[in-house]
Amino acid sequence: MPYQPVDVIEVRCWGSRVGAVALDERSGFYVFEYERAWADTGVELAPTTMPTTGPARSFVFPTLPPDTYHRLPSMVADSLPDDFGNALTTAYLANKGVTP
């Protein structure tokens, strides 16, 4: 089974849709946008960098080091596996016949 790229990744927490992440092709960085329903709950997953209150609903962080954050908002990058976790995931997918 070959790898299938996607354009948008849904972000979920506790069974609810929080928002989505997509590549901004102009900047080369990924943008996160809250779902209105999540923002209205007032639950803050990243209160200092991505508050649900205020005028901004979309967040992009071009000043974060790309080698560390992979051009993603910090809340999203922090939830990804590290090098060891990536090695485990790659081995698991290879075992299932998924090729990069």
> Is residue 1 a part of any domain in this protein?
no
pTM over 0.85: no
Range of the domain at 20: 8-95
Closest CA to 52 of 64, 36, 63, 71: 36
How much is the mean pLDDT over the chain? 92
What's the full length of the chain, in residues? 100
> Is residue 65 a part of any domain in this protein?
yes
**Calpha distance 62→29 (Å, rounded):** 6
Range in 3-7, 23-27, 79-83 the model is least confident about: 3-7
> Is residue 38 a part of any domain in this protein?
yes
Please report which confidence band the pLDDT of residue 51 belongs to, taking 50, 70 and 90 as the band edges: very high
Strand 16-24: give its sheet, edge to edge. 8-13, 16-24, 29-34, 58-59
> Is residue 71 a part of any domain in this protein?
yes
Q: What is the domain count for the chain? A: 1
**Calpha distance 59→24 (Å, rounded):** 11
Please report which confidence band the pLDDT of residue 100 belongs to, taking 50, 70 and 90 as the band edges: low
> Is residue 81 a part of any domain in this protein?
yes
Region of 37 on the Ramachandran plot (φ > 0 left; ψ -120 to 50 alpha; else beta): alpha
Please report which confidence band the pLDDT of residue 54 belongs to, taking 50, 70 and 90 as the band edges: confident
> Is residue 2 a part of any domain in this protein?
no
Say if residue 14's pLDDT is above 90.
yes
